[in-house]
Structure 1
Amino acid sequence: MNDPDALEGIAPPEQRQRARGHDNARTAILAQLADRRLPGAILLHGPQGIGKATFAFELAATILTSTGDEPAHRVQEQVAALSHPNLFLLRRRPKDGKGYYTVIRVEDVRDIRDSLHHTRGRSGHRVAIIDSIDDCNPSAANALLKTLEEPPADTIFLLISHRPGQLLPTIKSRCHNLALRPVAADDVRAVLLEHDPALGQTELDRAVALAGGRPRRAFETLALEPDSALGALQAWLSNPAQHAAAVSMKLADVLGADTQSTELSFAREMLGDWIADEARSAAMQPQARMRLASANELWDKAHALFAEADEINLDMKQTLVAIFDAIRKHAAMTAPNSTEPQ
């Protein structure tokens, strides 16, 4: 089964099998495995593109090796080929024609549930990876919940989520929650060089700088033109209040010109990350209640504006102008020593 979110020319998660970073999470899970107290379901959650799926396949290979009777290299080969009889994978499925379904359907969950109740193909535990549970429609999510409530014996579920706040509380309560975070810049750099050791220093530095700790984003950066507007957006976000309104209007014109472009998708993620970082930073400072309230309001406004633009096909340039303006006002209001240019 192919990965519906695969990037062209980039090895899929099952073939990488070693996630850079995430050392604390890895140590905790391996300790539980060694003590034979591994949870029946683990929810791996965090921002998209930080290596959660790669980490899940790494854990799967480790579990299958530790509980089975085959050497590690043989298990890893089968995991990479998605051919290990004790490994089960649930993703959005390909359509009969072209492309993939937009959701994981209830029949997809039932298929994997039925397969898990068959006699296992090999000794050891079975591992079921759900990549990602965010893709489940309501019926599929409820069907998966029933499976988690009455799991097959000796089966570990690894659920991947980019948006855990939107999951059913009952699903989250059935899982051991493991939060993964963006990885260090050195780890992103190492992932890129593993893919292409011949990458030039300038290209490498640019990709790492724009990645924000997400290897997937770094790969996406490599596909962009060197003079992409994302570098200008990054510079603007470093101090929004110090830039004239004309700068953000020019950015909005460039980024909003093509609503289907990789640049726009990338820019939306960068804006969301910036606002989220603002909220987290303010939350760590008890005296910054006004800044936190403003960041939370900014988050709600940006998401509402993007959702409205997507739903009724509004002018993306005007949407970006409104969001940039809101960010400038927030930055000026919450930084007393800054001055907002006119």
Structure 2
Amino acid sequence: MAKAPPPAEPIEPGPRHAERLVGHDAALAAFHAAWRGGRLHHAWLIGGPAGIGKATLAFRIARWVLAGGPGTDASLALPPSHPAFRKVAIGSHPDLAVLERNENAKTGRMRTEIVVDDVRTLASFLRLTPAESDWRVAIVDPADDLNREAANALLKILEEPPPRALLLLVAHAPGRLLPTIRSRCRRLTLRPLAEGEVAALLDTLAPDVPPAERRAAAAIARGSVGRALTLAGEGASALKRALQEVIDRLPEVDPVAAHALADSLGRPGAEEEFALFMELLRDAVAARARAAATGGADRIAALRPLEEWGAVWENLGRLARMTAGLTLDRKQAVLSALSALRPGAVPDIP
């Protein structure tokens, strides 16, 4: 008897498919008012910390505009059964382009930045006549990833926008974009979600995670649903325990435990675990810096002055970015990061 085919993989939840948008009613109202007032700016810069719903807002706006701005509801909601919703969700809408990092055809690896050729392709797309709607819409996610040439090419589009073209730029750190790009966009600044909002979303998005772990993830997610999902995911608890054991042993660092952790995070396929570990480590350092600044009763914080904790936090971020961006040895990066926790040490950045 032939084996039954495996069940279809469910669509990974993400901004393209999200029906709900929590905590950003002011941004929705601002866009809706501009649309209804006939004052729709050609470019909108959606800024705020990672994981709080910026891309979800961008796709919500895109769907609504491509559907013709139906109704008077400022939530800009479309039912999942709407043709525009379905086409955007599966990436088949002919009037929507999404500009993001993609695979380098020569190396087969994901690029670390958005390159100029992709922006030029986007410019050609925006000059075309809309196929199904009244608008051509482009989402740049995130604009932070544009390299200098790509940023300058995007600036040319913003300076001379084609008619009936709408650009939605997602940015985790808008202040790092070119001032000339920022000045040509209308700003929608999103704030981190409240802990209760994050917890409620986790209940929906991660129902299989034990309630206690969902609550703990929401409490330390800093208002980011994306971060909360990562923290609530499989393996995050083990990483948090391993890191806490390291912190508890300071000022000493157990070399056997350090090498075991580095081996685990340096293995093939552990890139996301490495990124999560480095983020958790920076969080731990930031907590000690705050304790050092306020004179709190924290044994670990007292091991070094505030200025040193700040330098360690900054250098750990640089080490994480360089390791991911340049595909450096993750095992060595973990060992360097753990060594930097000792008083007087700093990360050995290649």
**TM bracket (short chain):** 0.7 to 0.9
Amino acid at match of 1:319: S
User: Quick check: 36-45 or 206-215, which moved more?
Assistant: 206-215
Choose from 134, 137, 140 the match for 1:127: 137
Give, in angstroms, the shift of residue 150 of structure 1: 0.5
Amino acid at match of 1:58: R
Instruction: Assess, with a 3 A threshold, how the Cα gap between structure 1 residues 204 and 134 changes in structure 2: closer, same or farther.
Output: same
- 5+ residue gaps, structure 1: 1-7, 284-290, 330-342
Instruction: Assess, with a 3 A threshold, how the Cα gap between structure 1 residues 235 and 77 changes in structure 2: closer, same or farther.
Output: farther
Provide, for residues 53-81 of structure 1, a one-character-per-residue CA deviation record: whole Å limited to 9, x for no partner.
11110121233335479x94423223223
SS in 1 for 2:45: strand
Choose from 82, 88, 94 the match for 2:91: 82
1:151 matched residue in structure 2:
161
Q: 1:60 and 1:326 mapped to 2: Cα distance? A: 50
Amino acid at match of 2:337: L
Provide, for residues 237-264 of structure 1, a one-character-per-residue CA deviation record: whole Å limited to 9, x for no partner.
xxx8x97424798985565442444333
Q: 1:55 and 1:248 mapped to 2: Cα distance? A: 45
User: Quick check: 111-120 or 208-217, which moved more?
Assistant: 208-217
Give, in angstroms, the shift of residue 109 of structure 1: 1.3
Amino acid at match of 1:320: A
Matches of residues 1-342 of structure 1 in structure 2 within 5 Å?
Answer: 10-67=12-69, 72-73=78-79, 74=82, 75-95=84-104, 98=108, 100-225=110-235, 227-231=237-241, 233=243, 244-246=250-252, 255-257=261-263, 258-259=265-266, 260-272=270-282, 297-304=311-318, 306=320, 313=329, 315-325=332-342
Give, in angstroms, the shift of residue 309 of structure 1: 6.6
SS in 2 for 1:211: coil
RMSD: 4.0
Cα pair 2:319 2:333 within 8 Å, conserved: no
Give, in angstroms, the shift of residue 299 of structure 1: 4.4
Report how many residues are paired: 311
Give, in angstroms, the shift of residue 167 of structure 1: 2.0
Provide, for residues 105-160 of structure 1, a one-character-per-residue CA deviation record: whole Å limited to 9, x for no partner.
22211112112111111343332101122222222221111011100112221111
Provide, for residues 186-222 of structure 1, a one-character-per-residue CA deviation record: whole Å limited to 9, x for no partner.
3323333333444432342343344332222233234
Give, in angstroms, the shift of residue 44 of structure 1: 1.5
Q: 1:59 and 1:298 mapped to 2: Cα distance? A: 40
Instruction: Assess, with a 3 A threshold, how the Cα gap between structure 1 residues 293 and 317 changes in structure 2: closer, same or farther.
Output: closer
Higher helix share: 1
- 5+ residue gaps, structure 2: 1-9, 72-76, 294-304
Q: 2:22 and 2:255 mapped to 1: Cα distance? A: 38
TM-score normalized by the length of structure 1: 0.73
Amino acid at match of 1:103: E
Q: 2:152 and 2:78 mapped to 1: Cα distance? A: 35
Provide, for residues 276-303 of structure 1, a one-character-per-residue CA deviation record: whole Å limited to 9, x for no partner.
78999999xxxxxxx9867754544434
Q: 1:316 and 1:234 mapped to 2: Cα distance? A: 18
SS in 1 for 2:17: helix
Instruction: Assess, with a 3 A threshold, how the Cα gap between structure 1 residues 101 and 12 changes in structure 2: closer, same or farther.
Output: same
Cα pair 2:289 2:309 within 8 Å, conserved: yes
Instruction: Assess, with a 3 A threshold, how the Cα gap between structure 1 residues 307 and 103 changes in structure 2: closer, same or farther.
Output: closer
Q: 2:149 and 2:323 mapped to 1: Cα distance? A: 28
SS in 2 for 1:228: helix
SS in 1 for 2:191: coil
Amino acid at match of 1:207: A
SS in 1 for 2:130: coil
Cα pair 1:256 1:264 within 8 Å, conserved: no
Give, in angstroms, the shift of residue 180 of structure 1: 2.2
Amino acid at match of 2:117: E
Q: 1:256 and 1:20 mapped to 2: Cα distance? A: 38
Give, in angstroms, the shift of residue 223 of structure 1: 3.5
Q: 2:100 and 2:322 mapped to 1: Cα distance? A: 28
